[in-house]
């Protein structure tokens, strides 16, 4: 794309942006939604002929077709951001989503603009089938589902998984943000992320403090369980993540021991053996005879980075940990195969499985984002399923939220390791 064509395309797109911004500031949501439907979904009889011609130019140019998804995404966000920022207009966001989800029909053969309309509708259809639209849907659910009350959440098991997105701040960046977000939306999401994380840290701290005092014989008022786990599941998870799961060391102590061995012995082959032993040091798992241990050993021996590199370094550590997360959870959004992950959950349980993932990001903090991305892939894959159909995944997300908070939050929870 040459500079002149790029400038013309951006100029045409800006004309549409400015037009939509002007409409959403001066007209009712119903009027704007009808405008948007006429302009983009119908493709003819738009009241502003000049705007219709500008859109035709965008759709007709190869450059415009290449960038249409991002352009259309930006158009959607301009409207949503305006309505969402005003409480009395927020209901329009769901109406807008319903309009976008309406099937797009093939234009009538006799229509004078049939070719242009067909191209436009094909581009809009391609957008609806893209990850851009999926993130838009999740963002709308995020806006509309603002409750974190555990009792309220438990009452609605028939609702889709996507409506739980607000509970998991570590998924926000990967499930909600895209190139089309406005600066205001990004700021709102960042602020919400900090608030949600802060509230959860506070609630877990209160819960742990109460449990500690009760263990010392104090009569204190019970604190509510801030997770969707049962009371027993929560207590087991807390003992596992902040205690000494192998009976000798905490997770943090185990990670520091492996890191010191990496520094003193920089041979990749030695790290491979130590890494395997580190990951399979799980209560109830026979390191030598378990199917998981054997398959993990086989996988690590296939990594070219560990077999060919002359010495260990930070890049190799990050790459190995990310590849291990691919293997253990899921590799790619287009191929969301997570058979190994499901097998782990069935074999060693959710608490130990999340503990295994925690071990990886404790020895390599740069791999944390990669783990979050793996879990976001699963969340996106199952987002339309009813909550009751994906209890196992919700359990994983709750455990992960707890484990990340205990080890990466702003509060020091290591003092509770003796509970």
DSSP of 370-404: HHHHHHHHHHHHTTTSBGGGGHHHHHHHHHHHHHH
Average pLDDT (58-77) is: 90
Better-predicted residue by pLDDT, 309 or 213: 213
Provide the mean pLDDT of the chain. 87
Place 172 in a pLDDT band, splitting at 50, 70 and 90: very high
Please determine, for residue 316, whether its predicted confidence score (pLDDT) is greater than 80. yes
The answer as to whether 168 is a domain residue is no
Average pLDDT over residues 356-383: 96
What pLDDT is attached to residue 247? Answer: 80
Confidence check: pLDDT of 356 > 90 = yes
The closest of 208, 241, 177, 258 to 404, measured between CA atoms, is 241
Q: What kind and span of H or E run contains 194?
A: helix 183-215
Question: pLDDT band for position 370 (50/70/90)?
Answer: very high
- Kindly tell me if the per-residue pLDDT of 203 is higher than 80: yes
pLDDT cut 70: percent of the chain above it: 92
Q: Which residue has the tokens 């190799």?
A: 316
192 and 96, same domain (yes or no) = no
Domain boundary residue among 82, 97, 129? 129
In terms of domains, do 226 and 125 share one? no
Note whether residue 149 is domain-resident. Answer: no
Among 377, 319, 336, 310, CA closest to 134: 377
Per DSSP, helices labelled H in 88-130 are 91-100, 114-128
Q: Is the pLDDT confidence value at 285 over 70?
A: no
Q: Give the domain range for residue 85.
A: 3-129
Tell me the mean pLDDT in the region 192-209: 93
Helices (H), 222-338: 231-242, 251-264, 268-280, 291-301, 304-308, 314-328
d(CA 39, CA 28): 17
Q: What does the pLDDT average to over 268-287?
A: 81
Q: Is 393 within the bounds of a domain?
A: yes
| 195 shares its domain with 302 | yes
Predicted confidence band of residue 182 (pLDDT cuts 50, 70, 90)? confident
Residue 69 has a pLDDT of 94
Q: Indicate the residue among 91, 108, 129 that finishes a domain.
A: 129
Is the pLDDT score of 133 beyond 90? yes
For the cut 80, the answer to whether the pLDDT of residue 192 exceeds it is yes
Q: Are residues 120 and 208 in the same domain?
A: no
Which of 99-113, 240-254, 381-395, 401-415 is predicted least confidently?
A: 99-113
**pLDDT at 217 exceeding the cut of 80:** no
Q: How far apart are CA 51 and CA 227, in angstroms?
A: 50
**Are both 237 and 372 inside the same structural domain?**
yes
Position 78 pLDDT exceeds 90 = yes
23 or 301: which leads in pLDDT = 23
How many helices, marked H, and strands, marked E, lie in the chain?
A: 20, 0
pLDDT surpassing 90 at residue 108 = no
Residues 315, 414, single domain; the answer is: yes
- Could you tell me if residue 395 is inside a domain? yes
Q: Which residues contact 197 (CB under 8 A, 6 or more apart)?
A: 169, 405, 409
Tell me the pLDDT band of 246, cut-offs 50, 70 and 90: confident
Same domain, 372 and 300: yes
Whether residues 118 and 216 share a domain: the answer is no
Q: Clarify whether residues 99 and 7 are in a common domain.
A: yes
Residue 97 tokens, joined = 């989503």
Residue with tokens 């140019």: 61
pTM listed for this prediction: 0.87
Alpha helix ranges (H) inside 27-108? 29-36, 49-60, 62-66, 68-84, 91-100
Task: Please tell me whether residues 366 and 278 are part of one structural domain.
Answer: yes
Q: How many other CB atoms are there within 10 angstroms of residue 197's CB atom?
A: 20
Residue 185 binned pLDDT confidence (cut-offs 50, 70, 90): confident
Question: How much is the average pLDDT of 78-87?
Answer: 89
- Same domain as 108, residue 254: no
Residue 126's pLDDT is what?
Answer: 93
Number of structural domains in the chain: 2
Compute the half-sphere exposure of residue 243: CA atoms within 13 Å on the CB side of its CA. 16
- Percentage of the chain modeled with pLDDT above 90: 54
pLDDT band (50, 70, 90) for residue 181? confident
Domain shared by 121 and 189, yes or no:
no
* pLDDT range class, residue 111, cuts 50, 70, 90: low
Q: How far is CA 373 from CA 99, 150, 316, 333, 381, in A?
A: 30, 25, 20, 9, 12
- Residue 95 contacts by C-beta under 8 Å, 6 or more apart in sequence? 29, 30, 33
Q: Which of 129, 151, 166 is the last residue of a domain?
A: 129
332 CB-near residues (< 8 Å, 6+ apart): 326, 377
Residue 161 located in a structural domain: no
Residues 6+ apart with CB under 8 A from 338: 329, 330, 378
Map residue 338 onto helix, strand or coil: coil
């Amino acid at each position: 794309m040459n500079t002149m064509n790029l400038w013309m395309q951006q100029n045409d797109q800006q004309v549409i942006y400015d037009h939509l911004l002007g409409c959403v500031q001066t007209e009712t949501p119903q009027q704007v939604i009808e405008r948007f439907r006429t302009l983009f979904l119908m493709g003819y009889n738009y009241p502003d002929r000049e705007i219709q011609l500008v859109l035709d130019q965008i759709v007709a140019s190869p450059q415009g077709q290449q960038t249409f998804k991002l352009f259309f995404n930006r158009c959607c966000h301009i409207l949503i951001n305006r309505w969402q920022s005003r409480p009395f207009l927020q209901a329009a966001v769901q109406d807008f989503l319903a309009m976008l989800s309406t099937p797009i029909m093939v234009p009538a053969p006799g229509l004078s603009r049939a070719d242009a309309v067909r191209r436009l509708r094909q581009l809009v259809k391609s957008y609806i089938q893209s990850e851009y639209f999926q993130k838009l849907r999740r963002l709308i659910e995020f806006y509309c589902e603002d409750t974190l009350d555990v009792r309220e959440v438990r009452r609605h098991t028939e609702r889709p998984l996507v409506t739980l997105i607000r509970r998991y701040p570590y998924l926000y960046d990967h499930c909600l943000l895209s190139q089309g977000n406005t600066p205001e939306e990004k700021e709102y999401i960042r602020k919400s992320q900090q608030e949600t994380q802060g509230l959860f840290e506070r609630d877990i701290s209160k819960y742990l403090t109460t449990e500690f005092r009760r263990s010392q014989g104090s009569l204190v008022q019970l604190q509510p369980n801030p997770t969707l786990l049962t009371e027993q599941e929560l207590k087991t998870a807390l003992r596992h993540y902040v205690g000494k799961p192998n009976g000798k060391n905490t997770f943090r102590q185990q990670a520091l021991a492996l890191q010191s061995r990496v520094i003193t012995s920089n041979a990749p082959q030695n790290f491979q053996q130590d890494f395997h032993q580190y990951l399979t040091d799980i209560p109830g798992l026979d390191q030598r005879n378990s199917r998981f241990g054997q398959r993990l050993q086989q996988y690590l021996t296939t990594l070219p980075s560990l077999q060919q590199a002359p010495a260990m370094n930070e890049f190799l550590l990050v790459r190995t940990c990310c590849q291990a997360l691919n293997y253990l959870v899921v590799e790619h959004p287009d191929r969301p195969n997570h058979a190994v992950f499901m097998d782990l959950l069935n074999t060693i349980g959710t608490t130990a499985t999340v503990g295994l993932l925690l071990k990886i990001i404790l020895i390599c903090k740069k791999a944390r984002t990669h783990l979050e991305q793996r879990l976001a892939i699963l969340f996106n894959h199952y987002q339309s399923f009813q909550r009751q159909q994906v209890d196992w995944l919700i359990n994983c997300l709750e455990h992960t939220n707890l484990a990340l908070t205990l080890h990466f939050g702003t509060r020091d929870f290591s003092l509770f390791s003796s509970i």
